[in-house]
Amino acid sequence: MKTSASKPNAKAKRKLAAKERFHITHFVNPSGENAFRVSGYKPNGERVRENLKTQEEAVGRKAELDIEAANIVTTTATRMKATRLTDEQIKIAERIFARIGDRSLDQIVDYFDKNYREPVSQMTVVDAFDLFIADRTKQNRRPDTLRNLNGRVGMFSRLHGAKYVSEVTFDDCRDFVFRDGTSPRNQINDRLAVSNFLNWCVRRQFTTTNHMAKVDKPAVDANEPQVLSLTDCRKMLAGARDYKHGLLLPYVAVSLFAGLRPAEVARLTWDRVDMKEGTITLDGSMAKTRQRRIVKLPENAVDWLLPHAPKHPEFVPAAFQRHFGRVKHAAGFNGPGGGEDERSKKLRPWVQDYMRHTAISMYLAKHKHEGEAATWAGNSPNVIHRHYKGLVKDADATEFWNLTPAAVKSEIVTFPATVAA
């Protein structure tokens, strides 16, 4: 015989049922089938009375109702939920909902699905660099541009070539730009070249971010262009006239009086020079901007070019640097090819684009029109105003445009002893 301690009596069962919000009752339908009824009241007073076929279904339904009621009535920060999420996933979900506020999570996920792309196709820096140069070559980039990219981006590739492009960091980019021994101008050019490369990598999905774009641009002091004095101009013309029967006179004349860039002179051919009309026509393949430009030749430039036009010598002959070094040396400037003797070491350094800067400054001083000067030189009016205004005196400009062969006839120059005049 079992005691009351081992099995609850009817009174105890009724007491336990009274404490429960929902309870299960077994009964037999008039059809003779067993049924299990879940009944009770929700926290809002709504009555529940559901019949289920099996006891298992009834127990499951009662559990659902109990959990739902517990979630409604609880006042604590943490509520019981029926979920398949792990504790860590629940924490993540809570952070996400705190961030999105009133926005729909479904909309956010839909937008993500439509726009998200796998960030990278793994590619090493050195392999990406080879593809980059090949791509730029196919795009008909000029030799000077390719040399610049090969030098600057090539150096970056040698430093970080074994890394995947996606592994290149902001610190890698910043340290490359601001490495020891580089000038601010060189830093700007390095930053621009590598940023060009990394932007290309982003478009090819080798990385998601161009960290070089985040590197601060180095500050460079604004230095006004340096121009040749009238004496320097006379000596340059005399040197070009007297060196090897005027071998470089066409080069000096179009540089000094037409303001052409060295690269433009290198691409120039005599069929583009109209001596009768006094013009030089640079097509898109010759001009830096890749846009056709017609340069008006002043009368003194035509005078210098006329004796050489029938012969059609190359504007930039073979061994140009050696020849040009001798002419600069005769004019009082040192540089590549100019000689290595003691006198050469005491000469002034030659400044890049010396003759072009002189031509633009003299043109602006004569014509007083920034837009006209910009069109003539292949620049913008803003560049002309910012860099060339007021560099020379009006009287000097007048004398400059009268530097004809007759005006320089008496000028005598001396070439390095190793080269016969």
For 109-162, the pLDDT digits (tens) are 888 777 766 656 889 999 999 999 999 999 988 888 899 999 999 999 999 999
Q: What is the mean pLDDT of residues 370-378?
A: 88
Provide the pLDDT for residue 76: 41
Q: What is the mean pLDDT of residues 284-289?
A: 70
Residue 359 predicted with pLDDT over 90: yes
Residue 255 contacts residue 262 (beta carbons within 8 Å): yes
Cα separation, 98 vs 111, whole angstroms: 19
Provide the pLDDT for residue 203: 93
Query: What are the contacts of 244-252 at 24+ separation with CB within 8 A?
Result: 244/323, 246/307, 246/308, 247/313, 247/317, 247/323, 248/317, 248/323, 248/324, 248/327, 249/304, 249/308, 250/304, 250/305, 250/308, 250/313, 250/315, 251/315, 251/316, 251/324, 252/327, 252/355
What's the CA angle centered on 400, arms 396 and 404, to 5 degrees?
Answer: 150
Structure tokens at 352: 């890049």
Q: What is the mean pLDDT of residues 167-190?
A: 93
Q: What is the mean pLDDT of residues 219-223?
A: 68
Q: Does domain 230-400 have CATH number 3.40.190.290?
A: no
Task: Round the average pLDDT of the chain to a whole number and report it.
Answer: 85
Provide the pLDDT for residue 21: 86
Q: What is the mean pLDDT of residues 391-413?
A: 93
Tell which wins on pLDDT, 308 or 284.
308
Predicted TM-score of the model (pTM): 0.57
- CATH fold of 125-214: DNA polymerase; domain 1 (1.10.150)
pLDDT digits (tens, 9 = 90+) for 89-104: 888 887 888 788 778 8
Cα separation, 102 vs 300, whole angstroms: 77
Structure tokens at 131: 């593809």
Structure tokens at 118: 């796998």
Per-domain residue ranges of the chain: 21-73, 125-214, 230-400
